Structure 1
């Protein structure tokens, strides 16, 4: 599947991004995990593009570039790289990503993507995918999070606070063991989405740990990842057709 590197001008600079697949019809923004754009995410984007979508993978950490690369299996267990990652995460707020998302959507339009737009995110990208649907309810029609963290925490930018803004369908795939999205947060998110009458599914992947979907992650699980693909492809087929 064709990959093109593009540059997207934002209010804070220029974000690098990779674009996969056909530049017509429906599009998907893939919000990265904490380890940044890399071959593992390229492979995931290429697989999704193979379903007929234009898939954009933007660098959410562009304000602090250059950085990395990081080994997703060890980066948080080595103090030097863990410090770098914590710095990148703290310096890249949800508000920044939402401002950038307007530019990402416009970039897809310039590339010829005129159909409905979906969003999917992993790890830190999970909350961003959901918040993007809240920030751009008339443009993003479907939003999915896999092992997303802090989806219903006390933080003001936690997605559950914005449930009333959703027009998109929502899918949340959570790991059985995930300190960043414990059962009490899952229940809180479900209640908020039900009260807001959001069409949604929250699914618990028993036996999976945080990061199970991403092939270079230490928690990667091949069978669980295939289950995630089945759910994601079906979800977008229903919502972006």
Structure 2
């Protein structure tokens, strides 16, 4: 799979990113993959490669670039170590939704500079889930599809939650929810679906019974192969029906 390593200039500094493009492709639809809390790493690369294999250019930016060199973190052990867990929580908190939404403008510009200036989609995992949805709210003229998998706090009381931004979203939305997830309890799921309905967002919020937070990502301790394959089918449908139209 052809890859290009990019340094994207943003208002926050230089964001390192990897672009995965189908062989021979110099234009076409693109997807931004928003990482989980553990950073860009081989597991994220494998997921990006799978999407690129379906005919999309896929950009994987390091959302934590403001912190300089770090990790990546071990998805199986990072939160079980007190020092690492504290650092991770700080990085997540201090990399705000507003920062990622602003960065997304530069991500889209970088894709355009590489020739991929058409329709775009987003997909995010864990902390990236809300960012993928908020990116669609911040850039409705370009992002036509957005997916969140085991994203947390999607309908919290925070003013920057995706539920609060639902009226700005023009994209088709898919939300895959872990069966039991303390970061996205049933009341938030219901609130998010209601916000989407009221905003007339084309959406599907789907519960993955028995899956745990992180089930989609292959280096997570709770990875589930059947559940992951189900999410890949949903993404294929979402992106094929929006980015290829």
TM-score, normalised on structure 2? 0.97
Spell out the pairing of 1:108-123 with structure 2 (5 A cutoff).
108-123=111-126
CA 1:113–1:154 in structure 2 vs 1: closer, same or farther (change >3 Å)?
A: same
- Give 1:23 deviation, angstroms: 3.5
Aligned to 1:164: 167
Aligned to 1:231: 234
What are the ranges of 5 or more consecutive residues in structure 1 without an aligned counterpart? none
Q: Which runs of 4+ in 1 moved over 4 A?
A: none
User: What's the Cα RMSD here?
Assistant: 0.7
TM-score, normalised on structure 1? 0.99
Spell out the pairing of 1:1-241 with structure 2 (5 A cutoff).
1-21=1-21, 22-241=25-244
- Give 1:214 deviation, angstroms: 0.1
Distance 1:194 1:23 in 2: 37
- Give 1:50 deviation, angstroms: 0.3
Distance 2:205 2:190 in 1: 9
Instruction: State the SS of the aligned residue for 1:161.
Output: coil
Is the 2:118–2:142 contact (alpha carbons within 8 Å) kept by the matching residues of 1? no
- Give 1:218 deviation, angstroms: 1.1
Instruction: Give CA deviations for 1:146-205 in whole Å, capped at 9, x if unaligned.
Output: 000000001111000011111100000000010011100000000010011110000000
Distance 2:10 2:107 in 1: 9
CA 1:149–1:23 in structure 2 vs 1: closer, same or farther (change >3 Å)?
A: farther
Distance 1:106 1:86 in 2: 29
Instruction: State the SS of the aligned residue for 1:148.
Output: coil
Is the 2:177–2:206 contact (alpha carbons within 8 Å) kept by the matching residues of 1? yes
Instruction: State the SS of the aligned residue for 1:191.
Output: helix
